[in-house]
Structure 1
């Protein structure tokens, strides 16, 4: 399992992902879940992956293959709109899953993968899409300006309480890190390093990108201050009537 999210605010996009691909008592592996495709001045695409690592790797490899093939019917560069890219990735995912469906079924495992695609094509609005294992997709809404894949329940409350369209890019990025940290604390299948990408609208260039470990000063400070802040807020909660009498 893994956890990835993307946030769309008025000023741009934020992407965050963990790097754990397998977890057990005596085995933990890591693999980047974030791939960035950038053609400065033309288009930027960021892809986050969750689910079967074999399927997601095959999809990313197929994307690179089609980019190198001048005769490819469609690829990231030939698509006129970002939703066409989402449809294209959904078809690649479906193709890979169908190729291995019988073998995976016999072994009792799943070939399903989910993706988040975000970015901007010059002259168009930046967008984020969640692509389901079935190949269809949805985009973020005004009321819910974020998308999640993987182990999403532990990191959702902070997003619901904080993220709005007018949230700054920096606050959205901090919120994404807190959301990931909350998930890492509660689920062993999600783990560091954490990758963060921040894209400012209409820059059409390489997004700011950073990889954070548990020992990174920024990450350690964020963890500490968030925990202390939660404790302070908890201690200020209203008292029961019988507690007030004892004061």
Structure 2
């Protein structure tokens, strides 16, 4: 399992992903789940992945391979003219990888399932973010739904729903994500540190701030401890139950 979040703010995009993968309690390891393609002044595209590790790595591998193969006629994520076309390309790649894997074995397509968050901006177009399903179809983030989650999302969703404001700064959004991820880490062992975080500033068309959050990170520890203390304080301040 995994946990990844993409947030669309008025000033840009914020991405965060964990790095834990597991095939049982005795087979846990770390793999990066955030991938970025950048050509400064032309495009910045970031992809977050959740699901079957072989599927997600194959999808990313194919997207990357097509950017380097001279004379390759396959669509190239570094050449598509819009973020919509980038989402179509990723969706088609996901669908083909899952279909090929299931056709070659006895397992159903569900065993190779994978979901992605794609966000960024291409010169001449708007900043956009999409949630891409295993079937290859996708939806776009809107003013009414300015964030997407994939993987183990239920524990970290309440704080996002209650506190997210599209007008907030990158720093406030980062604090919100730290709380969301800490709540998830404390509730599900299949999500784990380190975490990867990235900011994209609207119309910059280049990479923004990036950070890897380790277990020893002082700010992460202060947020984790502070949020626990704040919840206990809020709980204790509520009226006591009285029997009728």
Provide the TM-score with structure 1 as the length reference. 0.92
Report the alpha carbon displacement of residue 75 of structure 1 after superposing the two structures with TM: 1.1
Which residue does 1:188 correspond to in 2? 189
Equivalent residues of 1:23, 1:189 under 8 A apart: no
Structure 1 segment 1-247 matched on structure 2, within 5 A: 1-22=1-22, 24-69=24-69, 70-103=71-104, 105-106=106-107, 110-240=111-241
Equivalent residues of 1:104, 1:110 under 8 A apart: no
Q: Which runs of 4+ in 1 moved over 2 A?
A: 23-27, 69-73, 102-109, 238-243
**In structure 2, do the counterparts of structure 1 residues 106 and 203 end up closer, same or farther at CA, with 3 Å as the change threshold?**
closer
Secondary structure, in 3 states, of the residue corresponding to 1:71? coil
Q: Measure, in 2, the Cα distance between the counterparts of 1:107 and 1:133.
A: 13
Report the alpha carbon displacement of residue 155 of structure 1 after superposing the two structures with TM: 0.7
Judge which range, 67-76 or 154-163, deviates more: 67-76
Report the alpha carbon displacement of residue 109 of structure 1 after superposing the two structures with TM: 7.0
Give the alignment's Cα RMSD to 1 decimal.
1.9
Equivalent residues of 1:17, 1:48 under 8 A apart: yes
Q: Measure, in 1, the Cα distance between the counterparts of 2:185 and 2:63.
A: 30
| Structure 2 residues without counterparts, runs of 5 or longer | none
Judge which range, 222-231 or 41-50, deviates more: 222-231
Q: Measure, in 1, the Cα distance between the counterparts of 2:41 and 2:242.
A: 63
Secondary structure, in 3 states, of the residue corresponding to 2:162? helix
Provide the TM-score with structure 2 as the length reference. 0.93
| Structure 1 residues without counterparts, runs of 5 or longer | none
**In structure 2, do the counterparts of structure 1 residues 104 and 114 end up closer, same or farther at CA, with 3 Å as the change threshold?**
farther
Judge which range, 228-237 or 20-29, deviates more: 20-29
Q: Measure, in 1, the Cα distance between the counterparts of 2:92 and 2:12.
A: 27
Judge which range, 160-169 or 83-92, deviates more: 160-169
Q: Measure, in 1, the Cα distance between the counterparts of 2:145 and 2:169.
A: 16
**In structure 2, do the counterparts of structure 1 residues 141 and 109 end up closer, same or farther at CA, with 3 Å as the change threshold?**
closer
